[in-house]
Amino acid sequence: MKDKKNKGKQNNNFRKPVTKSFSRSEPKKVSIENVDLNSKGDVIIIGIINRIVQTGGPTVFVVSDGTGNLSLKGFIGPGLRAYPDIVEGDSINAVVSIGEFQGEIEGEIKFVKKLNDYEHKEFLRELKILEKERAKVTPPEFLVKSQILEKLRSRFIEAATQVRLAIIQDRPIIVRHHNDADGYSSGFSLERAILPLIVKQHSSVKAPWEFFLRAPSQAPFYEIDDSIRDMANSLRNVAKFSNKMPLIIIADNGSSLEDLMAIKQGKVHGADFIVVDHHGFNKDVISEEVLVHINPFLVGEDGAHFSAGMLCSEFARFINPNVENIAQIPAMAGFADRIDLGNPKVMSEYLKIAEKEGYSKELLSDIALVIDYVSSKVRFMEVREYIEVLFGEPRARQKELVSLMAPYIRDLDRKGLEIGKSNAKQEKIGKVTIQTIEIEQTFPGFGFFPKPGRAVGLIHDDYQTEKKVTSLVTAGIMNTAITLRATDEANFSVHEFINFLNKKLPEAFTNGGGHKNAGSINFLPYKKNEVVSLLKDFIKGRSL
């Protein structure tokens, strides 16, 4: 009993302000953003408790004042909870001494008290004002002049504001992007903009591993599978670490009906969404479900004129005006997604910017080639450090890696092209030539490169060049899917073909997406032959 009494007295004495420790100079209130190792003596921190972590030593209180985060340590004994009356969500006034632990700034609590109800409400009111002020965007000029970008400017500003606010409010950010060169360009551009802001917010180089995730999506939309995984992991982090539910940015995907269920599922659990995409859709069902939706089709423009990587590179500069190592990415993403065919003027401007950074068109194409290959191998993994090398961090190693791998991958492409040509069949339907390849009967199975979509593109381009055919549709046929490529002269449309199938063969339950001349569809396996037959009917009806 005596020991328990003494322990209680020790706790009470510890919480009393020790005036002698700062009698020489009265501690001054400072904002967390101004705290550094040069802070002399004791300082006063006023903030809200975002998280409490009990270690085997001290209790760690993570405090935010709207300018940043700081870990404050309270110690009464190994593994004992200090200040048990202070809980997450409380606002506090603390006198702390600033120090360093494992390379990161922290404060040791000398005295702490909770703000009363009135003070707490006033602090929260001022905090909200400060957060909104800090989240404001100073819109930069776009890297290139474009009517499409100007029409999207207000959407860029709103989206960047939401991203900056999420960082300030300690919300984790997840970037979901398509698993190809354009998708990776989108994700990497956003990563380069967001990570430095997270480091600054938390005064910690380790914070990006807790508050940021970039994850590729294999399907050309945000799948319900990915959404469930994202929510399951986020809910675990809420329970285990007191994290908040995330802001999810979907890049190079997100605009179609196929994305809707996954987005709604995430919203049920408290996640919010931003979509940056350039693929077409029959009806906009996404905008009302997300914070911001950025897509050229929303402003009456063609998404084939700007890839997602180009859009996200511009978006990144709105989020963080000091973002580094992304000036070459719009050109690379554009060439990877064939934007030079639809928007040569803008691509020429982006290429000039890349050339100033030491990147030729050939080098950019080689980097995109290696990214496509690597994406087929890493699949769902984040591989943050490996991707950094691919995008030029450091650049010397990037060029060494690309010069090693690009010739090897081009040989794989040549092999894939020859295999595809050996089993490709051509048929004239009206003015259009349709070329078909049975993918699963032609190519080896899982892990083979080039992937079906890339293989179909190679075969499509080669036949145009070799046979001088200008009106061509190429279809890579699988048991449950078809990958499509078409020339402008073929008068084809992936989206109208999907509508045609759903009208003529609703029991196939066809879905899919992409651009007008490039995309993919999915259907039930037992309807494959009927779908292929209707593909020919569709082409015949449009080639008259």
Greatest extent of the chain over all pairs of C-alpha atoms, in Å = 99
- Write phi, then psi, for 439 (nearest 5 degrees): -60, -50
Write out 282-294 in H/E/C secondary structure: CCCCCHHHCCEEE
pLDDT higher than threshold 60 for residue 5 = no
- Residue 528's CB: how many other CB atoms inside 10 A? 17
Q: Is the pLDDT of residue 373 over 60?
A: yes
pLDDT single digits (tens) 281-311? 889 999 999 999 999 999 999 999 999 999 9
Average pLDDT over residues 15-33: 64
Copy the structure tokens of residue 195: 């990570």
Residues of the chain with CATH 3.90.1640.30: 136-406
Per-residue pLDDT of 91-132, as tens digits, reads: 999 999 999 888 889 999 999 999 999 999 999 999 999 999
pLDDT for 4: 41
Beta carbons within 8 Å of 83's beta carbon, 6+ residues apart: 15, 59, 61, 74, 109, 112
User: H/E element holding 247?
Assistant: strand 247-251
Would you say residue 511 has pLDDT above 80? yes
Question: Chain centroid to CA 480: how far?
Answer: 29
pLDDT of 419 higher than 50: yes
Q: How far lies 331's CA from each of 287, 401, 518, in Å?
A: 28, 20, 20
- When mean pLDDT is compared across 37-51, 400-414, 424-438, the lowest value belongs to 37-51
Strand order in the sheet with 173-178: 212-217, 173-178, 247-251, 272-276, 292-294
Provide the pLDDT for residue 25.
66
Residue 242's pLDDT band (boundaries 50, 70, 90)? Answer: confident
Output the pLDDT for position 52: 94
Q: Where are the alpha helices (DSSP H) in 379-519?
A: 384-390, 395-422, 439-442, 452-467, 494-504
Residue 7 has pLDDT above 90, yes or no: no
* Confidence (pLDDT) at 24: 52
Lowest pLDDT segment from 31-40, 90-99, 291-300, 524-533: 31-40
Class level of CATH domain 423-542: alpha beta
CB 192 within 8 A of CB 323: yes
How far is residue 190's CA from residue 193's CA, in Å, rounded to a whole number? 5
Q: What is the mean pLDDT of residues 15-21?
A: 40
Q: Is the pLDDT of residue 2 over 60?
A: no
Mean pLDDT estimate for the chain: 92
Percent of the chain with pLDDT over 90: 86
DSSP, residue by residue, 46-101: EEEEEEEEE-SSSEEEEEE-SS-EEEEEE-SSTTPPS-TT--TT-EEEEEEEEEEE
Contact (Cβ atoms closer than 8 angstroms) between residue 449 and residue 408:
no
Q: How far apart are the first and last CA of the chain?
A: 97
Tokens coding 182: 């354009």
Q: What is the mean pLDDT of residues 195-218?
A: 94
DSSP secondary structure, 44-59, as one string: EEEEEEEEEEE-SSSE
Give residue 415's Cα distance to chain centre: 33
pLDDT at 218: 85
Mean of the pLDDT values across residues 400-419? 97
Cβ neighbors of 291 (< 8 A, separation 6 or more) are 158, 159, 162, 247, 272, 273, 274
Q: Which residues pair with 51 in a beta bridge?
A: 62
**Options 3.40.50.460, 3.90.1640.30, 2.60.120.460, 3.90.245.10; which CATH number does 136-406 get?**
3.90.1640.30
User: pLDDT exceeding 70 applies to what percent of the chain?
Assistant: 95
Tokens at 476, concatenated? 């890579």
Question: Measuring CA to CA, which residue among 278, 340, 349, 272 is closest to residue 315?
Answer: 278
Burial string for 145-163 (b: 16+ CB within 10 Å, else e) reads ebebbeebeebbbbbbbbb
Q: Could you tell me where in the chain the CATH 2.40.50.140 domains are found?
A: 2-129
Q: In this structure, are residues 218 and 522 in contact, taking their beta carbons and an 8 Å threshold?
A: no
Tens-place pLDDT, residues 140-185: 999 999 999 999 999 999 999 999 999 999 999 999 999 999 999 9
pLDDT of residue 413: 97
Please tell me the distance from the alpha carbon of residue 41 to that of residue 447, in angstroms, as a whole number.
Answer: 61
Please state the separation of Cα 92 from the chain's center in Å.
Answer: 35
Contact 457, 463 (CB under 8 A): no
Mean pLDDT, residues 512-533: 93
- CATH placement of domain 2-129: 2.40.50.140
- Location of each CATH 3.10.310.40 domain in the chain: 423-542
Q: What is the pTM of this model?
A: 0.88
pLDDT above 60: residue 50: yes
Instruction: HSE, CB side, 13 Å, CA atoms: give it for residue 517.
Output: 21
> What contacts 239, CB < 8 A, 6 or more positions away?
none
